[in-house]
């Protein structure tokens, strides 16, 4: 009898357990972190990639299909960043809720204005993205914009927790605006600082902080530089010097380290996304660390 009562209770309570938290599939750590900020306990976030993986090149692993199968909301960058793997997950997961066009499919890059839209689409230009540069997460103003739409989307998909999402979004906005003001004040000395980048991954950061990009190590986006090409850049940096060469945490350190050694400038691995460094534990830490890393070399 006791067992029967327990069974009845479990059956009755099953929907509560089953729908305790909204399953969110985040393609990149920054969106996972944002969903956690906005959803708190109301969401269960699975982050498909880490800061040490190249989001252009991810294997469509069985584990990702299994997670996509149960997702109620997929939050991805879009702008073709995940074109090599996300379509496979969407097609193989058999999940109608997160197909493009459904409320459960959210593309962050659609919420902001993209930079570097190529005028000509030709693979001879390397790994370019037709919609523009997809690495939008390096500008906190973009995070703020995405947060507004994502907050609303969470409430739309999970109306039972709409109040939670509203409160958390308002709270996040307050903290984020305060943090942005702080970062902008701290980063004042960075305005106009010339930098070299390994991959065209930082236009939004440069735009935000007023950094001046004077060299890119990759001859074409996604094409690893040869020693000859790096030597040319060293020569070029003699006339237009850079203060630092930066790369994302996931990138091969060798090109920027080689350049750093030969051009006599520091090489810095930027966290690039949440989890990319010890300090970048969340979105706030990501920008705390990014600004701090750059300030260290600006002096």
Binding footprint of other proteins on the chain (CB under 8 A): 49-50, 52-54, 57-63, 65-67, 69-70, 79, 83-88, 91-97, 99, 101, 109-114, 123, 126-127, 131-132, 141, 145, 149, 207, 210, 222-224, 250-252
Residue 67 vs 277, nearer CB to other proteins: 67
Residue 50 vs 236, nearer CB to other proteins: 50
State the minimum distance, in angstroms, from the CB of residue 256 to other proteins.
14
Residue 52 vs 214, nearer CB to other proteins: 52
State the minimum distance, in angstroms, from the CB of residue 4 to other proteins.
27
State the minimum distance, in angstroms, from the CB of residue 14 to other proteins.
13
The angle that helices 283-298 and 140-157 make with each other, rounded to 10 degrees, is 170
For the CA atoms of the chain, what is the radius of gyration?
21
State the minimum distance, in angstroms, from the CB of residue 22 to other proteins.
15
State the minimum distance, in angstroms, from the CB of residue 97 to other proteins.
7
Residue 42 vs 68, nearer CB to other proteins: 68
State the minimum distance, in angstroms, from the CB of residue 70 to other proteins.
5
Residue 157 vs 265, nearer CB to other proteins: 157
Residue 6 vs 227, nearer CB to other proteins: 227
């Amino acid at each position: 009898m006791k067992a029967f009562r327990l069974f009845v209770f479990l059956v009755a309570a099953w929907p509560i357990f089953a729908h305790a938290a909204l399953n969110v599939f985040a393609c990149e750590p920054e969106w996972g972190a944002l969903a956690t900020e906005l959803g708190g306990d109301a969401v269960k976030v699975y982050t498909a990639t880490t800061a040490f993986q190249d989001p252009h090149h991810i294997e469509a692993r069985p584990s990702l299909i299994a997670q996509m199968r149960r997702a109620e909301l997929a939050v991805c960058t879009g702008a073709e960043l995940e074109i090599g793997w996300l379509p496979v997950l969407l097609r193989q997961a058999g999940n109608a809720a997160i197909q493009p066009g459904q409320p459960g499919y959210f593309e962050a890059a659609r919420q902001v204005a993209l930079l570097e839209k190529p005028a000509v689409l030709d693979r001879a230009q390397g790994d370019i993205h037709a919609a523009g540069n997809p690495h939008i997460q390096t500008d906190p103003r973009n995070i703020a914009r995405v947060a507004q739409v994502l907050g609303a989307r969470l409430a739309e998909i999970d109306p039972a927790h709409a109040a939670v999402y509203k409160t958390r979004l308002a709270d996040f906005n307050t903290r984020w605006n305060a943090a942005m003001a702080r970062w902008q004040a701290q980063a004042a000395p960075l305005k106009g600082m010339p930098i070299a980048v390994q991959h065209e991954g930082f236009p939004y950061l440069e735009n935000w902080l007023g950094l001046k990009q004077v060299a890119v190590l990759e001859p074409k986006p996604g094409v690893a530089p040869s020693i000859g090409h790096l030597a040319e850049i060293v020569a070029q940096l003699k006339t237009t010097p850079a203060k630092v060469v930066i790369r994302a945490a996931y990138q091969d350190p060798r090109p920027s380290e080689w350049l750093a050694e030969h051009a006599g400038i520091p090489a810095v691995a930027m966290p690039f996304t949440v989890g990319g460094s010890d300090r970048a534990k969340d979105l706030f830490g990501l920008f705390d660390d990014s600004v701090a890393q750059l300030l260290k070399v600006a002096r």
